[in-house]
């Protein structure tokens, strides 16, 4: 029996099938953090990780914490040769647009990474998302739910 320990407390076959219908259904699912972690493991996709971190960043209320997190986001994902560098701009535009990004990090707002996050959203929707229905993770989860009598998966 395949166990999907992170799905709390139930995920239904209906919801899993909806993930393959549209990218919006996938990213608005309450399971999106787990899906992205699993999918990242299968595909080494830092884009999904960056998108999730940006979603968490937007919820930070404290200016001090926001500044700290903005610096971490920048040094981990955006600056050239960052450990988990994501490509959000064409190389020609990249260096001319670094100055505003650096300014955003020095005076961060809740929306200062929206531009980069939006670009990655479109990349994931176009490039990564079409691979989901055939991924090992998705196929195993769907199969497990289809063979389960009540069409839901419990922990």
Give the residue among 126, 109, 116 at the shortest CA–CA distance from 85: 116
Rounded Cα gap, residues 155 and 151, in angstroms: 14
pLDDT in tens, 88-112: 664 445 555 555 666 667 778 888 8
**Cα atoms in the 13 Å half-sphere on the side-chain side of 24:** 0
pTM: 0.66
CATH of 10-154, one of 1.10.167.10, 3.90.1640.30, 3.40.50.150, 3.30.870.10: 1.10.167.10
| pLDDT at residue 27 is higher than 90 | no
Rounded Cα distance, 32 and 11, in Å? 12
Lowest-confidence region among 22-31, 73-82, 95-104, 107-116? 95-104
């Amino acid at each position: 029996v395949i166990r999907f320990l992170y799905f709390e407390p139930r995920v239904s076959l209906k919801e899993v099938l909806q993930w393959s219908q549209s990218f919006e259904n996938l990213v608005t699912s309450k399971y999106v953090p787990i899906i992205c972690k699993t999918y990242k493991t299968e595909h080494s996709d830092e884009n999904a990780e960056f998108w999730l971190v940006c979603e968490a960043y937007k919820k930070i209320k404290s200016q001090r914490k926001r500044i700290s997190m903005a610096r971490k986001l920048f040094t981990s994902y955006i600056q050239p040769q960052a450990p988990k560098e994501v490509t959000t701009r064409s190389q020609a535009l990249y260096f001319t647009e670094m100055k505003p990004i650096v300014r955003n990090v020095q005076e961060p707002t809740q929306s200062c990474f929206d531009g980069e996050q939006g670009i990655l959203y479109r990349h994931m929707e176009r490039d990564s998302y079409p691979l989901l229905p055939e991924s090992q993770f998705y196929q195993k989860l769907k199969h497990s739910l289809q063979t389960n009598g009540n069409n839901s998966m419990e922990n």
